[in-house]
Amino acid sequence: MRLTQFTDNALRCLTFLALSADELNTAREIAQRMGMSADHLVKVVQRLTQLGYVETIRGWKGGVRLAQPPESIVVGEVVRQTEQSFALVACFETGDGGCPIAPACGLAPALDEALQAFLAVLDRYTLADLTRERRRLRDLIAD
């Protein structure tokens, strides 16, 4: 069981920006310092901008920063918004992958309840909670 790389990179990017406070970093710099592909990160920054988590300052000294305080960015919400699908199994797919008993099977409702419990835990965490060890984290991303 795994989140998509997109969600992983989105959380990693937001965490980096929370540690950078008002400093501006380009997507390339963030990618380099956080061990991500720059191409992936450009798409992640675009999506996080659409979602209102990130803002881009243009110009030769420009870059990216958080558009909200870390205390107001809820991890569960970010995961809901960046994860493409929460179809944990192929139950409701049609065609070859589809399961003939899906209409009456108790698995999908049980998995949905489990998923809601998963997300409810992440709703209790903000970006500020992920970056409590601020000094140690900043040392880890220092050049």
**Which residues form the interface with a second copy (CB under 8 A)?**
1-5, 7-8, 11-12, 15-16, 19, 33-35, 75, 83, 85-90, 96-101, 103-107, 110-111, 113-115, 117-122, 125, 129-133, 136-137, 140-141
**By C-beta, is 69 or 98 nearer to a second copy?**
98
* Shortest separation between residue 107's beta carbon and a second copy, angstroms: 5
Nearer to a second copy, 62 or 97 (CB): 97
Give how far Cα 122 sits from Cα of 64, 77, 99, 115, Å: 25, 8, 30, 11
**CA gap 67, 48 in Å, rounded:** 10
**Those residues with Cβ within 8 angstroms of residue 18's Cβ, 6 or more apart along the chain or in another chain:** 66, 70, 73, 127, 128, 130, 131
Bridge partners, residue 65, by sequence = 55
By beta-carbon proximity to a second copy, the closer residue of 65 and 125 is 125
Give one word for 89, left, alpha or beta, with left for phi > 0 and alpha for psi -120 to 50: beta
Nearer to a second copy, 67 or 137 (CB): 137
Nearest approach, Cβ of residue 61 and a second copy (Å)? 25
